[in-house]
């Protein structure tokens, strides 16, 4: 097993020297007398298993330092050392810095070693669980979305377009760790999978539905949220999906008093993306609007109270700047995961295989090849992302 990387922060040079002596054969060790320098190490990407910090230090005390360290590297285990048997400081350290262990000076070597070893094991467990969860969730979501792509191309096309838009918005707005929002967008339409394609096509173009279809479509966020809630650790994702049609002023579904900031932020972003996609496609389909994108934004601006103003402002600012994609006309053999369809693809019978605006992956490419049969020489209009994004998409899809 590799030795853990441990950071010791203490303003006493003699204490740092003793830490280097104690742990030189047991750990990879870094020491600093300046908390700010320790934060610089974290900013530089150093992945510490354990951080051991003194409490009383000039400039920045250990509580403030460990709180900032937790924000930057939440998986790193934090241990507090102090020469003061201060219960108040211990409580502050635990609450603010989520400290794993609190030790008082002078601390016996065996007690300190035991704390660092326990912290290292805790770090291994946290990282392993996170990797397992990431792999399990990713596999589950990929299975669900691949099934949706086979069952209902309209629903999958909508979720694919909206996923790309919400991730662009998340990046533009500087959201940290937006993976829950990405999953919510990918799964936002699974409640529609059983609806006929022609019904969904009407709904996604903003056309009214009648009878039971109107009710079933209105209930699709709840159906999807109930399904997602069965997947461990995805409660927040299910909540975003459940509130995807909730208006900022409290109107819309689900019923209840939630409004404004009480609505999950991810749901507020998803609502903007969903409605923009519907309106832009609706105005495009008429063939009578010269700038459907701007018309869609204008319509959304006129819906007072529907949207989080900050999200709508971000969408308008972002959408008026080029995103680095280039247009291409490619053969089937040239298609790669991460590219975006710039046309609707129909099979020989005239049915929609994949929708315009859909981000394609390996499953979609195989489906195209199967559906188009002998049209292997057919060329398809696509939007090609910057090379680094394309390589990342291929890596994820693999």
Give the CATH number, domain containing residue 393. 3.90.105.10
Q: Is residue 228 part of a domain?
A: yes
Asked if 123 and 79 touch (Cβ cutoff 8 Å), the reply is no
Which pair of tokens denotes residue 158?
A: 């909508």
- The angle, 0 to 180 degrees and rounded to 10, between the axes of the packed helices 87-97 and 62-72 is 20
Instruction: Please indicate, yes or no, whether residues 248 and 380 belong to a single structural domain of this protein.
Output: no
Asked if 276 and 297 touch (Cβ cutoff 8 Å), the reply is yes
Instruction: Please indicate, yes or no, whether residues 93 and 184 belong to a single structural domain of this protein.
Output: no
What CATH code is carried by the domain that includes residue 47?
3.40.50.2300
What CATH code is carried by the domain that includes residue 199?
1.10.3210.10
- Residue whose entry in the numeric block shows the structure tokens 């070893």: 117
Q: Is residue 146 part of a domain?
A: no
Instruction: Please indicate, yes or no, whether residues 316 and 346 belong to a single structural domain of this protein.
Output: no
Instruction: Please indicate, yes or no, whether residues 86 and 177 belong to a single structural domain of this protein.
Output: no
Chain-centre distance of CA 62, in angstroms? 31
pTM equals: 0.59
Q: For position 379, what pLDDT does the model report? A: 82
Domain end residue (candidates: 280, 296, 321): 321
Instruction: Please indicate, yes or no, whether residues 77 and 118 belong to a single structural domain of this protein.
Output: yes
Instruction: Please indicate, yes or no, whether residues 250 and 178 belong to a single structural domain of this protein.
Output: yes
Q: Is residue 142 part of a domain?
A: no
Neighbours of 84 (CB within 10 A): 12
Instruction: Please indicate, yes or no, whether residues 205 and 294 belong to a single structural domain of this protein.
Output: yes
**Which residues on neighbouring strands pair with residue 379, listed in sequence order?**
331
Instruction: Please indicate, yes or no, whether residues 381 and 283 belong to a single structural domain of this protein.
Output: no
Instruction: Please indicate, yes or no, whether residues 316 and 394 belong to a single structural domain of this protein.
Output: no
Q: Is residue 215 part of a domain?
A: yes
φ, ψ at 210 (rounded to 5°): -120, 160
Q: For position 333, what pLDDT does the model report? A: 84
Domain end residue (candidates: 297, 321, 345): 321
Beta strands in the chain (DSSP E): 5-9, 28-32, 50-54, 77-82, 101-104, 326-331, 340-341, 345-346, 352-354, 379-384
Counting DSSP H helices and E strands in the chain, the numbers are 16, 10
Q: Is residue 143 part of a domain?
A: no
Domain end residue (candidates: 292, 321, 350): 321
Identify the domain containing residue 96 by its residue range: 5-128
Q: Is residue 140 part of a domain?
A: no
Instruction: Please indicate, yes or no, whether residues 197 and 274 belong to a single structural domain of this protein.
Output: yes
Q: Is residue 138 part of a domain?
A: no
Q: For position 322, what pLDDT does the model report? A: 45
β-pairing, 101-104 vs 326-331, is: unpaired
Peptide bond between residue 106 and the one before it cis (omega within 30 degrees of 0): yes
Q: Is residue 109 part of a domain?
A: yes
**Which residues on neighbouring strands pair with residue 247, listed in sequence order?**
none
Q: For position 237, what pLDDT does the model report? A: 92
For the chain, the domain total comes to 3
CB-count burial class (<10 Å; 0-12, 13-18, 19+) for 316: middle
Q: For position 306, what pLDDT does the model report? A: 96
Calculate the alpha carbon distances from 250 to 214, 245, 304 in Å.
21, 10, 12
Instruction: Please indicate, yes or no, whether residues 166 and 280 belong to a single structural domain of this protein.
Output: yes
What does the pLDDT profile of the chain (398 residues) look like in tens digits? 578 899 999 988 888 998 888 888 888 999 999 998 989 888 888 889 999 998 888 888 888 888 888 888 888 999 988 776 565 666 665 655 578 888 877 888 888 889 889 988 888 888 877 776 666 677 777 777 788 878 888 888 899 899 989 998 888 787 877 888 988 999 999 999 889 888 999 999 989 998 899 999 999 999 999 999 888 778 899 999 999 999 999 999 999 889 999 999 999 999 999 999 999 999 998 888 788 899 999 999 999 999 999 999 889 877 775 456 777 788 888 888 888 887 778 877 777 788 777 888 888 888 888 887 655 567 888 888 776 555 555 555 55
Instruction: Please indicate, yes or no, whether residues 314 and 357 belong to a single structural domain of this protein.
Output: no
């Amino acid at each position: 097993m590799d030795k853990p990387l441990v950071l010791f922060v203490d303003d006493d040079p003699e204490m740092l020297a003793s830490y280097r002596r104690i742990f030189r054969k047991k750990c990879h060790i870094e020491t600093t007398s300046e908390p700010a320098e320790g934060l610089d190490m974290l900013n530089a990407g150093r992945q510490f298993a354990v951080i051991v910090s003194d409490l009383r230090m000039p400039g920045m005390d250990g509580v403030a330092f460990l709180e900032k360290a937790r924000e930057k590297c939440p998986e790193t285990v934090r241990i507090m050392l102090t020469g003061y048997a201060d219960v108040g400081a211990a409580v502050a350290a635990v609450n603010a810095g989520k400290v794993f262990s609190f030790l008082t000076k002078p601390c016996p070597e065996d007690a300190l070693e035991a704390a660092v070893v326990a912290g290292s094991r805790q770090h291994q467990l946290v990282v392993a669980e996170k990797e397992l969860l990431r792999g399990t969730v990713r596999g589950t979501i990929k299975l669900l979305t691949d099934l949706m792509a086979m069952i209902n191309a309209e629903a999958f096309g909508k979720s694919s377009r909206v996923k790309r838009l919400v991730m662009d918005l998340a990046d533009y707005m500087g959201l940290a760790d937006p993976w829950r929002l990405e999953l919510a967008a990918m799964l936002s339409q699974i409640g529609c999978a059983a609806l006929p394609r022609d019904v969904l096509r009407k709904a996604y173009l903003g056309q009214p539905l009648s009878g039971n279809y109107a009710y079933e479509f209105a209930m699709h966020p709840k159906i999807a949220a109930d399904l997602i809630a069965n997947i461990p650790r995805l409660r927040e994702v299910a909540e975003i999906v459940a509130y995807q049609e909730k208006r900022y002023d409290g109107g819309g579904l689900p019923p209840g008093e939630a409004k404004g900031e009480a609505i999950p932020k991810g749901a507020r972003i998803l609502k903007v993306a969903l409605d923009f996609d519907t309106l832009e496609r609706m105005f495009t389909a008429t063939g009578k609007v010269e700038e459907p994108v701007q018309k869609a934004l204008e319509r959304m601006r006129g819906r007072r109270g529907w949207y989080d103003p900050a999200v709508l402002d971000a969408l308008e600012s972002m959408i008026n700047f080029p995103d680095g994609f280039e247009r291409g006309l490619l053969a089937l053999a040239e298609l790669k995961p991460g590219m975006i369809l710039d046309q609707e693809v129909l099979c020989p019978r005239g049915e929609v295989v994949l929708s315009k605006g859909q981000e394609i992956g390996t499953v979609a490419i195989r489906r195209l090849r199967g559906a188009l049969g002998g049209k292997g020489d057919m060329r398809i209009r696509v939007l090609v992302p910057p090379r680094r994004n394309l390589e990342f998409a291929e890596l994820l899809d693999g």
